[in-house]
């Protein structure tokens, strides 16, 4: 376990500068084009793969940083470059986290490498949890997984929505109900291998922001996967379901389900992405305010502009500190007794929205045009109070944790 500190070590600084260089030299010049095209930026992903940035090894190295800061430092720099392309590069990691959080060592070793492919043949993966009628309310999930004991196969049926890389992924990780009487506690995660019959892409969404990231429905019709594709294995599932039934009879504590375990593990990283977007917008606004002359002086000479920039920087630094604390706690095995993971995602997401809106205001009419990147950053930031748990859900998680009460 690494000691917590606010000064990055030389290795972390080296990674930060390396990722920053890729973001500045490769991502930023391509950002506007891929935002307009609303397509997956495969050439950029391949460039990232060629230098080892899009690879299982890189994310494993960052994930196992003993201080916990490897992932948030890398995420901030990538999303400083561009959020849409950044999400295309890191979207696979949510599926990988789903396997790491719930799978066996054999499953991790088998499937995570296939999620990334190779530098010459890049692949992506998708984590499929949300449904048309089950977003924040995971207990309303309708996708079912039924075990065919004669063939040792699971049969999946249902429709998933808002899936990053959905339908174009090499590997899909799907959360499904295995015991409907247990609600959210009766769910499990499954690997759907490449080319499995019955899985198809539904509607591809045209989005307000993060438009270079592919988001679509995933339709599952009589999808059969081997028994070995149940993450964690059947024995572990049966033990967990038995405990859930006992808790249900006793009216006891909640048991985390597969989707929530994945989101809980990823929230500080998502917060770091929001920090990167906010920092990028702040830097544009600061430079603009120092060079834009009105009434014979730079607009930063006006307190209204200067104080806004001061608040922007303060909120960004505060958000980063919350993200770093939660990331360190998770790596150190310290429990989130006050929902610190949710705190980090909540504050960082709200900060990104406010900072990018403030940047547009400082740029005035220029901020509203596509000649400057802040309007794109503002559109991209909007999703960070919505996906992987809305701000309202984060507040609910925090309130329940600090009060110990089942607040609704």
Q: Say if residue 385 is in the same domain as residue 275.
A: yes
The per-residue pLDDT for range 340-386, each reduced to its tens digit, is: 999 999 999 999 999 999 999 999 999 999 999 999 999 999 999 99
- Tell me whether residue 388 is one of the annotated catalytic residues: yes
- Domain match, 270 and 389 both: yes
**How many domains does the chain fold into?**
3
Residue 269 and residue 72 in contact, taking contact as beta carbons nearer than 8 Å: yes
Could you tell me if 277 and 373 lie in one domain? yes
Residues 272 and 235 in one domain: no
Predicted confidence (pLDDT) per residue in 310-324, tens digit:
999 999 999 999 999
Residues 240 and 271 in one domain: no
**pTM tops 0.95, yes or no:** no
Could you say which of 250, 284, 309 is where a domain stops?
Answer: 250
What pLDDT is recorded for position 6?
85
- What is the pLDDT confidence band of residue 77, given thresholds at 50, 70 and 90? very high
Whether 302 and 203 map to the same domain: the answer is no
Are residues 238 and 263 part of one domain? no
Stretch 169-189: mean pLDDT: 94
Q: What is the CATH number of the domain that holds 23?
A: 1.10.540.10
Q: Of 93, 116, 139, which residue sits at a domain end? A: 116
Neighbours of 114 (CB within 10 A): 15
Please report the beta strands in 315-397, taking only residues with DSSP state E, as ranges in sequence order: none
Chain mean pLDDT for the chain: 94
Residues 245 and 129 reside in one and the same domain? yes
Q: How far apart are CA 112 and CA 92, in angstroms?
A: 9
Model confidence pLDDT, tens digit, residues 196-254:
999 999 999 999 999 999 999 999 999 999 999 999 999 999 999 999 888 877 765 45
Residue in 77, 340, 350, 388 annotated catalytic: 388
Tens of pLDDT, residues 259-297? 555 566 679 999 999 999 999 999 999 999 999 999 999
Q: How far is the C-alpha of 26 from the C-alpha of 44, rounded, in Å?
A: 7
pLDDT of residue 264: 64
Length of the chain: 408
pLDDT of the residue at 257: 54
Report the percentage of the chain scoring pLDDT > 70: 95
Q: Phi-psi bin for 222: left (phi > 0), alpha (psi -120 to 50), beta?
A: left
Look at residue 2 and tell me if it is in a domain.
Answer: no
Residues 265, 392, single domain; the answer is: yes
Domain range for 83 is 10-116
Whether 110 and 129 share a structural domain: no
- In this structure, the answer to whether residues 27 and 162 fall within a common structural domain is no
């Amino acid at each position: 376990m690494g000691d917590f500190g606010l000064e990055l070590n030389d290795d972390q600084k080296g990674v930060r500068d390396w990722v920053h260089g890729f973001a500045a030299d490769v991502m930023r010049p391509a950002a506007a084009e891929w935002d307009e095209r609303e397509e997956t930026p495969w050439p950029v992903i391949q460039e990232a793969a060629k230098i080892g940035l899009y690879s299982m090894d890189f994310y494993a190295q960052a994930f196992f940083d003993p201080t916990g800061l490897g992932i948030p430092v890398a995420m901030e720099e990538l999303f400083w470059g561009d959020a849409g392309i950044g999400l295309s590069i890191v979207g696979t990691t949510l599926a990988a986290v789903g396997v790491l959080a719930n799978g066996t060592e054999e499953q991790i070793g088998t499937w995570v490498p296939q999620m990334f492919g190779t530098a010459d043949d890049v692949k992506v993966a998708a984590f499929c949890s949300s449904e048309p009628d089950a977003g924040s309310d995971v207990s309303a999930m309708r996708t079912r997984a039924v075990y065919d004991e004669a063939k040792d196969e699971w049969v999946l049926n249902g429709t998933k929505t808002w899936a990053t890389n959905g339908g174009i992924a090499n590997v899909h990780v799907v959360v499904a109900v295995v015991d409907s009487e247990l609600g959210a506690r009766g769910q499990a995660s499954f690997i759907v291998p490449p080319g499995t019959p019955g899985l198809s892409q539904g509607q591809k969404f045209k989005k307000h922001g993060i438009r270079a990231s592919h988001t679509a429905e995933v339709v599952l019709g009589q999808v059969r996967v081997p028994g070995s594709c149940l993450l964690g294995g059947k024995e572990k599932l049966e033990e967990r379901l038995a405990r859930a039934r006992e808790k249900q009879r006793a009216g006891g504590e909640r048991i985390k389900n597969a989707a929530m375990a994945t989101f809980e593990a990823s929230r500080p990283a998502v917060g770091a992405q929001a920090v990167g977007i906010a920092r990028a917008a702040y830097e544009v606004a600061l430079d603009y305010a120092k060079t834009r002359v009105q009434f014979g002086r730079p607009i930063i000479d006006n307190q209204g502009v200067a104080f806004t920039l001061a608040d922007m920087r303060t909120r960004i630094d505060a958000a980063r500190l919350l993200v770093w604390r939660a990331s360190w706690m998770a790596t150190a095995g310290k429990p989130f007794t006050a929902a610190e993971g949710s705190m980090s995602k909540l504050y960082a997401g709200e900060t990104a929205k406010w900072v990018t809106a403030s940047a547009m205001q400082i740029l005035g009419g220029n901020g509203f045009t596509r000649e400057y990147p802040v309007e794109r950053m503002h559109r991209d930031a909007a999703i960070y109070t919505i996906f992987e748990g809305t701000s309202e859900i984060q507040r609910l998680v925090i309130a329940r944790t600090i009060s110990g009460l089942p607040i609704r």
